[in-house]
Amino acid sequence: MAPAPLRQNIRNIGWMILSMLGFALSDSVIKVLVRDVPTGQIILMVGTGGTAIFALLALRQKVRIFSRDFFAPAVLVRNMAEGLGTVLFVSALAAAPLITLSSIQQAGPLIVTLGAAVFLKEHVGPRRWTAVLIGLVGVLIILRPTSDELNAGALLGVSAVVMLSVRDLTTRIAPPNLHTLQLATWGFSMLIPAGALLLFTTSAPVALDLRISGLVAATIALTMLAYFAITASMRTGDLSVVSPFRYTRLIFALILGILFLGERPDSWTLIGAAIVILSGLYVFARERRKPL
């Protein structure tokens, strides 16, 4: 395949960076929301809003919302992983710093590479295997499992990354005729029962005042923006050029966490994050030279 034009790649990089900014801002708003609103209620509201918006967009583009492909095994696993991953991540935001969780999130591409090799039988050479293992060591440095500082929120964050990596892997093997809006609508719809179940088994819902309603609306809008931007970034161009810019999400999380959430990451978190990112960048670089 011929390389994409430079202008196209630059445009797609811009979309990717915008997407990562949107996700980081959405995470920050949720981090504020969980102080006053039960986790289940947040997930339920975001799922309802996101499902409605994506369904309307699908109808506008004459994309069928309901399809037999919904019951394809890969799609069912993808949807369940999306719902469970979101529940775990929002729960993690209630218990761990945003910067720590964003650092752990950067291991996602490494886990996808590992999963693709084990479950999809994609070839991964020894150099990429080494990079994946080094990246996972970086995650352990962030977690510091032998110290007294390990908390449940960080472990929830790791579980969330694993589930969202399962989502990404199953997206690869989903029926190719599925439209992006179908997958997005189905993925968000899974948050509705997940959020409702979590809400009504753990806590009572709270009344929505103007401030909370505004934060929920901002979360939905930012998440929609991020989804649109990341879709636009991946539609055309060289994925190996665009994908490394996923790591800008951590830069945005650092800025937002320090300036607006009062977080102060320690040196071990930063060292672990650097190891994860460098490992991921190496994997992306080797992807351009398969099958090494």
Q: Judge whether residue 36 has pLDDT over 60.
A: yes
Q: Judge whether residue 291 has pLDDT over 60.
A: no
Whole-number Å distance between alpha carbons of 139 and 150: 12
Tokens of 188: 């968000």
Q: Write the CA distances from 120 to 21, 109, 124, integer angstroms.
A: 31, 15, 11
Reported as a pLDDT band with limits 50, 70 and 90, residue 5 is: confident
Q: What is the mean pLDDT of residues 41-67?
A: 93
Looking at residue 62, the DSSP 8-state letter turns out to be T
Query: What's the pLDDT tens digit per position in 242-280?
Result: 888 889 999 999 999 999 999 999 999 999 999 999 999
Kindly tell me the burial class for residue 262, based on how many C-beta atoms sit within 10 Å of its own C-beta (0-12, 13-18, 19 or more): exposed
- The pLDDT value given to residue 149: 60
Whole-number Å distance between alpha carbons of 177 and 230: 19
Task: Please give the mean pLDDT across all residues of the chain.
Answer: 89
Q: Write the CA distances from 165 to 69, 108, 177, 196, 238, integer angstroms.
A: 21, 6, 22, 24, 21
Note the residue count of the chain.
Answer: 292
Lowest mean pLDDT among 81-85, 190-194, 280-284: 280-284
Residues 6 or more apart whose CB falls under 8 angstroms from that of 131 comprise: 110, 279, 280, 282, 283, 286
